[in-house]
Chains A and B, each alone.
Chain A
Amino acid sequence: MAHGRPTLDGDTELEKVAISGAALAALMQAVNSSAGDCDGVLFGHVERNTTSTMVDEDVGSRTSHNSTAVVTGHFCSGRVTSFYDATGHIDVAKFAQMVGEREARGGDPPIGWFVGRRGTVMRPSMREYTVTANLRGTQFSAPEDAAVGSEDVRDGKVKDSRTLNSANGLLGEGNGLSSKEVLAGRKNPSQEGALSKLIGIPSSSPCIFFLFTESSDANSVHTHEYRAFQYRTKLPGAGFFETRAVKIVNIGQAFRGLYDFAPVAPFPWFTKSSGFDGESSDEGLRRLSMTPHHADVQMDVPQEADQALLDMYSQDFSVDRLQSLIRTEGEGGSVRELEALYRTMLRKLDVLAKQVCEGNGVIFEQELANSKLKMALQSAGKR
């Protein structure tokens, strides 16, 4: 799965820039509410689509690739020169501050930046050009990562954090790394520190620049304008901006994929290939369903983490059983297993409800005792 992906190159020509209506509205609101000009960082990811065209003749199908940059979020500084100086030089510390927190929460990596300026033409200025060139050209990665294939490490981490936490439907991007690596990485503070240093726009990602303006001219038909540019470098040292069409993703069936409505459950991430390779699926299933508690004994550390994650949503459903369920997708037995999973999830809810009830009872009793004490205190005070 991971091998079939085309190689990532940040200079690949984008077909368009997509942004959901809500994200654009939030961005415009941020620009609009700032007292003067403002800038900020854009976050997002790239969707690469491969279109195959089948033809009648026996020449095989033709495939075409196109990329769409999806802007999913932003951070607005509310002023200009927030992470760079007047000459366009990037202040790494300030940029890290604007970016770092978001990635730790599992958002998309930075994909570019934006500027909102009122009453100006929709062309990048000399400073905006230089800032973009520096964003693209500067390597902000930590030195220890540079030694061991920093690109892979960075790529993996960024993607995995998305897989785990965001509901952006990026599971489908098909990188073969399992989430146990992320969990392990999270627990390790030294690697956490390295993660925060890995800022900037990865060279595998395109660099987007968004420009917003609004005019106070009462005669103009529309007062808010936006334009997206992709920064490209055909020759080294000679970058240029290319205007890109902006697609605002609206509600409707056709936009589901872009709107990221794909139902994503926060379950552990399995691939079909992993698991009990030597065993037939039915056998494994039977074995697991018979002895749900037996598996605990031979569980290794990452499985424990997966189990802990699963236990948050279900009662007594082993993680191996869930893995088998994925492997047997499309076969008859899975319905029964799925129902069993739902039952354990309902049981979990039952347990939670019971816990809430009990908790409420304790709180009620405590409050009763509190009020009794208060009464006693008051009567004592009157005397």
Chain B
Amino acid sequence: MAMVQVQHNQQQQQQRPPPSASSSTYVAPAVPSWLQAQLQYLRTHSPIPLKVENLRSGARNSCILDRFSVLIPCCLSLIKWEVVYNGNDTRVAPDIIFGDGDNTFQPLTDTSDLSPCHFLRDWTPSDPTRLLKLILVIRVLYLQYQRKKVEEVKDERVRFEMSTMGAIQGLEMCVMATSDGMEEVIFSVPLVLEVDSPYSATTAQAPSTLLNDISLQVKFPVQKGQSIGSAPQLKLVAPEAMKDVFDVDDVKLPEWPEHMCLVEYMPTLQLTIQQQVREARASIGLRRNFMESLFPFFGRPLEADMLYYRKISILTSSGVFTFLIHFVLPIQFPKMQPAFTLQSSQHFDARGKPLVSRPYQDYPWSPRWETSEMAQRIFEFVAEECIAFKRHCNDSLSQR
């Protein structure tokens, strides 16, 4: 849902009328209804996250938005294709311009059952499913084309990996040119994780499949078909939405010794990640307990993240001074202590914004305490600190 929202925003940005001095009778550019329906279908029904951006016009008076870029996930990277419709003649099927290095990828010459020609031949703009089908079928051909390119790489290490990994479900591979004139062979392997641990029961709302979607991206640098011999670049990739629960960037990957190969490396990595994912799931439950322990001291919260328990805001007071406390709970809770800021509800700056304290992260803390003790210690710290904050607020007001 969040992603769809973002895309809508982008589209609205694109729809802003571009400055045009030439035409006296200016017509605001708009997406025609048939294309709107196709894009809507693409956003809601795509099995892979496709992103449409940079909607623009090909008409002389630039009033019909009929071409755009699509970002397509391939080997855990994004490739950009341009889809070109002809707004003046909707019967004409769209055309696609591929990336710079793919000048030999020509899906229209494909004669197999997958050939996109079937879709293009009897194109009807009124069918909203066509665009998505076309893109998906060409993506399959593109992955086949990249696989063939990888098979042509005359590097022994890459060939060995191909022979051992080739049959893995969901494996994608491609050859990309890098900026320094070299090439790299990229493999993307989905990790097989068993996340149905007893801890997961604590979060019924969190989608259970969310933590299952981690993949490993491996880049072997090659030069003219020969490997350099250095260790490959390894990177874990997870959906953006997972960041609230588990950040793959925090994972320290196991070392890649010499003569290591992917088949050997993967089980070790999967075990490591599985352990960390379990901890992350357990952390959700602990964060929830911590939040509940805050209530007896500070009162009921104004706002709380009830999905992953990462944020909570509480309105509280000390004497006549009323203020808000915003807590941010880290993924590594309780190893890392929460950060919080105070926000006055009585003092405002010149522009009418409430005064906010510095973020506090240096108060007494131990991960071994009970959550009630954590809450009590924070309460005591805040009771002292709010006086200093109030003084600071009064000072800054009197200075004006």
**Chain A contact residues, CB within 8 Å of chain B:** 32-37, 79-81, 85-88, 117-121, 123-130, 133, 216-218, 238, 240-241
Contacts and interface: CB of A to CB of B under 8 A. Distances in A.
Nearest to B60: A35
Contacts of B18: 216-218
A36 B88 contact: yes
B244 interface: no
Given A36-B87, A86-B93, A120-B82, 9 more contacts: A36-B60, A36-B88, A79-B86, A86-B92, A86-B123, A118-B62, A125-B84, A126-B105, A127-B95
A123 B86 contact: no
Nearest to B20: A216
A35 B88 CA distance: 7
B97 A121 contact: yes
Contact of A87 (B62, B86, B108): B108
A216 B57 contact: yes
Nearest to A123: B97
B1 interface: no
Contacts of B103: 123-124, 240-241
Contact of B95 (A33, A118, A128, A217): A128
A80 B108 contact: no
B21 interface: yes
9 contacts: A35-B61, A35-B88, A36-B59, A37-B58, A88-B108, A117-B84, A121-B82, A123-B103, A128-B95
Contacts of B19: 218
B340 to A, nearest CB: 44
B67 interface: yes
Contacts of B109: 130, 133
A216 B89 contact: no
A13 B98 CA distance: 25
Interface of B: 18-21, 56-62, 66-67, 82, 84, 86-89, 92-93, 95-98, 100, 103-109, 117, 120-121, 123
Contacts of A36: 58-60, 66, 86-89
A33 to B, nearest CB: 8
Contacts of A216: 18, 20, 56-57, 62
A125 B89 contact: no
B82 A130 contact: no
Contacts of B21: 218
A69 to B, nearest CB: 20
Contact of A80 (B82, B86, B105, B120): B86
B57 A118 contact: yes
B186 to A, nearest CB: 22
Contacts of A120: 58, 67, 82, 84, 97
Nearest to A34: B60
Contacts of A79: 86, 88-89
A35 B96 contact: no
Q: For chain A, what secondary structure do more than half of its interface residues adopt (helix, strand, loop), or is it mixed? A: loop
Contacts of B120: 86-87
A130 B95 CA distance: 11
Contact of B67 (A35, A119, A126, A241): A119
* Centre residue among A124, A125, A238 by max chain B CB count within 10 A: A125
Contacts of B121: 85-87
Contacts of B107: 126
Contact of B117 (A35, A87, A117, A121): A87
B318 to A, nearest CB: 54
A120 B62 CA distance: 13
Nearest to A229: B103
Contacts of A241: 103
A124 B95 CA distance: 10
B95 A126 contact: yes
A157 to B, nearest CB: 32
Contacts of B95: 125-128
B193 to A, nearest CB: 38
A189 to B, nearest CB: 38
Nearest to A219: B19
A121 to B, nearest CB: 6
Nearest to A122: B97
A81 B97 CA distance: 16
Contacts of A118: 57-60, 62
A19 to B, nearest CB: 23
A87 B110 CA distance: 11
A251 B61 CA distance: 34
Contacts of B86: 36-37, 79-80
A274 to B, nearest CB: 49
Nearest to B96: A126
A85 B89 CA distance: 13
Contacts of A117: 58, 84
A127 B108 CA distance: 7
A13 to B, nearest CB: 17
Nearest to B61: A35
The 10 closest A-B pairs by CB, nearest first: A36-B88, A86-B93, A86-B120, A130-B108, A87-B117, A125-B97, A119-B56, A118-B58, A127-B95, A125-B95
Contacts of B87: 36
A152 B397 CA distance: 96
Given A80-B86, A120-B97, A129 B108 contact: yes
Nearest to B65: A119
Contacts of A81: 92
Nearest to A33: B60
A130 B106 contact: yes
A80 B92 CA distance: 8
Nearest to A78: B88
* Centre residue among B19, B67, B82, B106 by max chain A CB count within 10 A: B106
Nearest to A127: B95
A2 B35 CA distance: 58
Contacts of B61: 35
* Centre residue among A120, A124, A218 by max chain B CB count within 10 A: A120
Contacts of B96: 125-126
B27 to A, nearest CB: 13
Nearest to A88: B108
A126 B106 contact: yes
